[in-house]
Amino acid sequence: MSFEARAAVVTGAGGGMGWTIAAELCAQGANVLMVDIKERPDPLPMGPGHAEYARIDLTDAQAVAAAIGGFHESWGRLDHLVNAAGVLWFDRDRSAVEIDLDVWDEVMAINLKSAVHTVRAAVPAMKATGGGSMVHVSTIQCLRGDTRPQDAYQASKAALVALSKSIAIQFAGDGIRSNVIYPGPTMTPMQARWEGEEATQAQVAASVPLGRIGRPEDQSAACLFLLSDSASFITGTELIVDGGVSALP
Amino acid sequence: MTKEPHERERTSPRSLAGRTALVTGAGAGLGRAYALALARCGAAILVNDISETGAAETVQLIESIGGLASAAVFDVRDGAAIEAAVAAAGPIAILINNAGIDEGKKTEEIDEASFDRMFDIHLLGCFLCGKAVIPGMKALGGGAIVNISSINGMIADDTDPHYNAAKAGIIGLTKAWAKELAPWNIRVNCLAPGHVRTPATTLRGSERMRMVSETRIPFGRYAEPEEIAEAAVFLASDESAFITGQVLSPNGGEAIVGI
C-alpha cells in the first residue's frame, strides 16, 4: 500500500469523484479526512486506513481551518490534499452575459475560493513534516468553449489551474507538489442527467475516442498517481483524463 | 453506483503480468530504467538497443531481479529488422518508444545528414516501431504506446534545434495515433521528461548540473531515472485506462518557469 500511514484531506468526498478518491486512498492505507457540505455517507470507507468525515461549508474559511487543523493535530502530519469539491448548476450557471451575478459569486466561492481555504490550511501543515502533494480537480470543459455554456463553472475551474501552478512554484522548495487533473465525461452524480438515459449515454460514449464514458475509478487512479511518490518529480502540471476527447481537433 | 473499493476484488491496476513490452534504446540510461520498472510490474521485456552489449546488460539486470527479458538488437530506422524482431517475440502489449540521441550542436554546425539522422532516429524510429506492433495490439484487443518526447518538445532549448523539433514531432505523432487507434483500445501517450541524471547528462559535468538545478528547476535537482520510469509505468498500465493522446511531463516544475 503506497499510502500507508499517510494523512490526506479530500474535499467533495460526500459523493462522486471525491468519494471514490477518498475510498481508494483509504483502501491503500491512508488516514483520510473527508470534507463535504453533504450529509455524511454511511458507512464511510472501511479502511484499512481510518476515514473520518467533516460536514462543513468549504466557503467558510474558519470552518475549513478548524477541520484541517484538527485533523493535522490528531495525526501529526498532513501529506495529501485533494480539492474535488465543485458544483455544476446546469439550470442556473449560464453565459456570462445572462447569469445571475449572485450565482456567479456563489460558484466562484465553492469551486475556487474553497480551494484557497484548504491550501491555506494545508501548506503550513505540509511544510512542518517536509512536504506533501496536492491534486486539484478541474475539467476539460475549461479548455474549450461551449454553445450551451456554464461560464462560472468553466472560469472557476480554469482559475484552479492557475492557482495550482502558482502554488507549485512557490512551495517546490518546501517539497510540496501541486498538480491538476482535467476529467472528461465521467459517470458521477454531477451527471445525474445521464442516469437512465441510455440514448444520451450512448451518444456521449460515442463522442469519446476510447468509446466509453469515464468511471470515477479512472479519475481516482490518475489522482492517486499524482499524489503518490511515483510522481515525485511531477509538479505544476495538468493531466487530462478524458478517453482522448481533447486529442480531437 | 460503482462498488466501493473494499467491496471490489482488488487486482493491482499496476500489474503487467502476462504482457510483453518492447522498450527501444533500453541498453542504458532512461531506457534501461523503463525496462526495469516494467519488468518489476511483471511484464516480459523485449530489450532493444543498437548496442548488443548494452541490451545484454539490461537483460541480465532484469533477470537478476527475477524478471523476464530477451534482447532484440536492431536500429530503429530499419523497418525490416523491427518487423522480424516483433514477429519473433509475438504480440506486444506495450511499446516504449525511447531510442534517441542528442548532439549538443548549434544550427550552423548541423549539416543535412545530421538533421536527417536526428529526425530518423526519433520520428521515423517511433513510427516504424509503432507500425510493427499495432497489428499485434489490435489482435490482443488493446495496448499502450508510450512515446518518449522531452520537455524540449514543449519548451525549446538553445541547443540542438533538430532535437527540439523532433521531440515536438513526437507529440504530434502521439496525438494522431491516439485518435487513429482509440477504436482498438490502443492508448497512445507521451512522456516528456525534464532534466534527468543519466550517464549522458552526467558526462556534461557537475558544474552544469548544479547551474541548471539552481536556475531552472524549482525542485533544485535533476530527476533520478527511476522517478521518470514510474510515470512510464503509469502510462503503460491500466492505471491510465482513460488517458490517451496526452503528454505527461515529470520536470520538477521546470515547465512553469520555462515559458
pLDDT at B179: 95
Q: And the C-alpha cell for A159?
A: 482559475
Percent of chain B with pLDDT over 70: 95
Question: ipTM value of the model?
Answer: 0.88
CB contact under 8 A, B246 and A247: yes
Model confidence at B5: pLDDT above 50:
no
List, for residues B155-214, the tens digit of each pLDDT value: 888 999 999 999 999 999 999 999 999 999 999 999 999 999 988 777 778 888 888 888
Residue pair A222/B239 in contact (Cβ under 8 Å)? The answer is: yes
Q: B75: which residues sit within 8 A by CB, 6+ positions away?
A: B50, B81
A-chain CB neighbours of B256 within 8 Å are 165, 168-169, 235-236
pLDDT at A211: 95
Task: Kindly state whether A44 is in contact with chain B, defined as any CB-CB distance less than 8 angstroms.
Answer: no
Task: Kindly state whether B40 is in contact with chain A, defined as any CB-CB distance less than 8 angstroms.
Answer: no
- Smallest CA-to-CA distance from A90 within A151, A157, A46 is with A151
**What's the average model confidence in pLDDT over A170-193?**
92
Query: pLDDT band for position A142 (50/70/90)?
Result: confident
Model confidence at A236: pLDDT above 90:
yes
CA distance B34 to B25: 10
The whole-angstrom distance between A152's CA and the closest CA on chain B is 26
List, for residues A64-100, the tens digit of each pLDDT value: 999 999 999 999 999 999 999 999 998 899 999 999 9
Task: Kindly state whether B244 is in contact with chain A, defined as any CB-CB distance less than 8 angstroms.
Answer: yes
Model confidence at B247: pLDDT above 80:
yes
Length of chain A: 249
| 3-class state of residue B120 by DSSP | helix
Task: Among 1.10.220.70, 3.60.21.10, 3.30.470.20, 3.40.50.720, name the CATH number for the domain at B17-252.
Answer: 3.40.50.720
Query: pLDDT band for position A147 (50/70/90)?
Result: confident
B-chain CB neighbours of A234 within 8 Å are 231, 248-251
Q: And the C-alpha cell for A44?
A: 464511510
Question: Which of B228, B234, B252 faces A235 most closely, judged by CB atoms?
Answer: B252
Q: Spell out the domain ranges in chain B.
A: 17-252
CA-nearest residue to B234 within chain A is A225
A-chain CB neighbours of B227 within 8 Å are 232-233
Complete edge-to-edge strand list for the sheet that includes strand B44-49 = B69-73, B44-49, B20-23, B94-97, B143-148, B186-191, B247-248
Rounded to the nearest 5°, which phi and psi values hold at B95?
-125, 125
Query: pLDDT band for position B259 (50/70/90)?
Result: low
Q: A77: which residues sit within 8 A by CB, 6+ positions away?
A: A6, A7, A125, A128, A129
Model confidence at B3: pLDDT above 60:
no
Residue pair B20/B67 in contact (Cβ under 8 Å)? The answer is: no
Complete edge-to-edge strand list for the sheet that includes strand A176-183 = A51-55, A31-36, A7-11, A80-83, A132-137, A176-183, A238-241
Catalytic-labelled residue, pool A3, A53, A153, A171: A153
Which domains are present in chain A?
7-242 (3.40.50.720)
The single-letter code of the amino acid at A68 is I
Active site residues per annotation of B: 163
